[in-house]
Chain A
Amino acid sequence: MKNDCIVAAWNTIEPSGAQDARVLSAILSANRSEGKRNEKTMLHTKKLLIPAVALLLLAVVGVVGIRLNWFTASREPIEAESEGAPVNDTECKVPNPILDEELDAAFGYLFPTEIEKGYVLTEEGFNLYSDSADALHAEHRVLKATYYNEELDDTLLIEVAPSAYFGGYLKNTPYGVVQYGDPQTDGTRSSMIFFENDGITILYQFGKTDIAAMNAEAAERFYAMVHSARCFCRISPAESEENDEIDIDG
């Protein structure tokens, strides 16, 4: 201690027994009420938390349900075995057989997920290549649509028409075999493939992506898309445009 007289003076300052008891009593009382207040707060928090958690779960179920098409009447893809069966408008409005989860794969983003009225292909993330992307040539029952995929930086051309429409071009071109266009100045070349189904021919053409280089999983999706695309030819003849020239590259 630095100074005895100051220490001695401070030592005289002490609470009396009664003061000590009063202060301790006040402190303990505050401690108990604090405990009760915490309990009340916890109860109150629980009361708020339960409905909040319930709402959150509901929202999560809703979002997951929508993502997985739980709430859609028909989720089944148009399977290969249904090929050749008459296609009606209702069928054409069903979602594309490419399931949402498959869209996670890079290749999946190439495909439209909805086919509405047989000719409009829409999907967030797909940019229409041009205003005529949903060009409809009803007179000849031909669809020609071009989509641009930002992720792959490539275009996908889809043409659906009666096989006769492609005429001579198909004479020496087998179905189901990848064909290539002439190499471009940057070394890329387009690849295309024709499929035929019940008198309808469908052409898929990528600007520079090699269809043959697709892995098995991607190719499977590609075929699923091919099967669904027959809906494209179910076009209402309401619009009638001249189908003078459809230029097929390659």
Chain B
Amino acid sequence: MKNPLLRTDKEIAELYARHKSTVWRVCFAYLKNPADTEDAVSETFIRLIRSAPAFESEEHEKAWLIRTASNVCKNQLKHWWRKREDIDRCYDLPDAKPIEANEVLETVLALPDRYKAAVYLYYYEGYTGAEIAGILKKPQSTVRNQLREARAILKERLGDDFDEK
């Protein structure tokens, strides 16, 4: 994959189309409301434009965006003035896509922030623990522990609905 210092609008639009869903979900998992998610997604892609990193592959590009989105969200959550929004608030936003409130989603979003990226990458994206460790730049043992603890919480809260295969 080439590494132009400056990408054209077309290239940026294509890049956004490739990864918007992933970035959006990662951000939503942390921030739990569409307005902040929108800001975080924008910020993530803007960081990519400004830092213009060299990507070896599309997977590398995706991993970079996931890690950056995760960092952007964590930074937002650190702000003292930020009010943590409840998931129910998202229904009140006029142009936000209605999110089907179900027990599974609420339970997943209620997980501690430190588990969310790993859970998303493991259960939704289908990455292995080692791959997640590479993406998040964390030790494999840390990722394994996070997944084990998150799985325990999910099992406890979801009971029969959480039938891990």
Interface residues of A (CB under 8 A from B): 1-10, 12-16, 18-20, 22-24, 26-28, 30-32, 34-35, 38
Contacts and interface: CB of A to CB of B under 8 A. Distances in A.
A13 B97 CA distance: 8
A2 B13 CA distance: 31
A27 B6 contact: no
A38 B24 contact: no
A5 B97 contact: no
B16 interface: yes
Contacts of B20: 15, 20, 23
B54 interface: no
B126 A19 contact: no
B115 interface: no
Contacts of B96: 16, 19
B80 interface: no
B76 to A, nearest CB: 15
B49 A10 contact: no
B99 A13 contact: yes
Nearest to B24: A15
Given A3-B164, A19-B95, A27 B126 contact: no
Given A20-B20, A24-B13, A28-B12, A2 B42 contact: no
Secondary structure dominating the interface of A: helix
Contact of A14 (B45, B97, B108): B97
A113 to B, nearest CB: 52
B9 A31 contact: yes
Contact of A30 (B21, B49, B104, B162): B49
B49 A22 contact: no
Contact of B28 (A13, A22, A30): A13
Contacts of B165: 2-4
Interface string B19-60: 011001100110000100110011001100110000000000
Interface residues of B, number: 44
Given A2-B164, A6-B124, A15 B38 contact: yes
A35 B46 CA distance: 12
> Shortest 6 CB-CB distances between A and B: which pairs?
A16-B97, A9-B105, A18-B95, A9-B104, A6-B123, A30-B46
A9 B24 contact: no
Given A2-B164, A14-B24, A19-B38, A31 B12 contact: yes
A10 B120 contact: yes
A12 B87 CA distance: 13
A229 B51 CA distance: 68
A38 to B, nearest CB: 6
10 contacts: A1-B123, A2-B122, A13-B29, A13-B99, A16-B34, A19-B95, A19-B96, A23-B20, A30-B42, A31-B9
Given A6-B104, A16-B96, A16-B97, A28 B124 contact: no
Nearest to A21: B95
B81 to A, nearest CB: 22
A34 B4 CA distance: 13
